[in-house]
Amino acid sequence: MLENLKEEVCAANLDLVAKGVVIYTWGNVSGISDDRNYVVIKPSGVDYARMEPGDMVVVDLESGEIVEGHYKPSSDTPTHLELYRSFSDIGGVTHTHSSYAVAFAQAGRAIPALGTTHADYFYGEVPCTRALSAKEVAEGYEINTGRVIVETFTARDHVAVPGAVVRGHGPFTWGKDAAESVYHAVVLEEDAKMAMATLALNPNAALEPYVLDKHYMRKHGENAYYGQDL
């Protein structure tokens, strides 16, 4: 079942390796079916080098039960499911342990919007979640990771800022499909790298709000004009 989605999700996972944001078996990508009943996700602990579309695992969105697959799904599956349940307009989710984004997560800091590269994709800072409580870690760690991300976006637009860093853990990004969620993960890592270098040179660096507005809106606004009309 969902053979096309399995191919898309497998390709998206392999793209993480191609783009250099994961090593070993770190990270995972998922995608959701058109009817939003099932999620296809990378299997847990399987080496990317030998991963094929048939290795992807299909789980039920509501129950989290395995519907199809010969492997266990990613241990982060409950986090992905919580994001799909809460953000009903997203079609793909990516999690990595990319170095610079993780550094911000470990520092408990948001990734600030300091330049136009960031502004092209994220309309403001990429937030860092609060720390999970000891109880939240002990009881339902992965689903509570999803919940703390959702909580962080209570007063934020998850479409305009398609990602977050989980304190002490790392980044999660999302998009209209699996491929776009990976794209956002790669951009987020580059933004984090540039932000860290910028803050090292000038701890008081900031981007003018009107520049942020201009760059985000020319790509994503109602009157966007970046790119070609196809």
List residues with catalytic annotation: 120, 226
Other Cβ atoms closer than 10 A to 61: 17
Return the DSSP state at 43. Answer: B
**Per-residue pLDDT averaged across 151-170, rounded?**
97
Tokens 């409580």 appear where?
133
Q: What is the pLDDT of residues 110-141, one digit of tens each?
A: 999 999 999 999 999 999 999 999 999 999 99
8 Å CB contact between 79 and 165: no
The CATH code that applies to domain 3-220 is 3.40.225.10
Note if the pTM is more than 0.75: yes
Phi, psi dihedral angles at 107 (to 5 degrees): -80, -10
8 Å CB contact between 195 and 112: yes
Residues 78 and 67: their CA atoms lie apart, in Å, by 15
| Residue 92: both structure tokens together | 């793909």
Judged against a pLDDT cut of 90, whether residue 227 lies above it is answered with no
Q: What is the pLDDT of residues 28-70, one digit of tens each?
A: 999 999 999 999 999 998 989 889 999 999 999 999 999 999 9
Determine the pLDDT at residue 25.
87
Q: For residues 62-75, b (16+ Cβ closer than 10 Å) or e, as one string?
A: eebeebebebebbe
Which CB contacts under 8 angstroms, 24+ apart, belong to 214-220? 214/119, 215/116, 215/119, 215/120, 216/119, 216/120, 216/122, 216/123, 216/160, 219/120, 219/121, 220/123, 220/160
Q: What percent of the chain stands above pLDDT 90? A: 92
The three-state secondary structure class of 41 is strand
| Lowest-confidence pick of 1-5, 107-111, 220-224, 225-229 | 225-229
Question: Could you tell me how many residues make up the chain?
Answer: 230
Determine the pLDDT at residue 230.
67
| Residue 23: both structure tokens together | 């090593």
Strands (E) in the chain, as ranges, are: 28-32, 38-41, 57-60, 66-68, 92-95, 163-166, 170-175
Q: What percent of the chain stands above pLDDT 70? A: 100
**Per-residue pLDDT averaged across 136-149, rounded?**
97
Q: What is the pLDDT of residues 170-215, one digit of tens each?
A: 999 999 999 999 999 999 999 999 999 999 999 999 999 999 999 9
The amino acid at residue 162 is: P
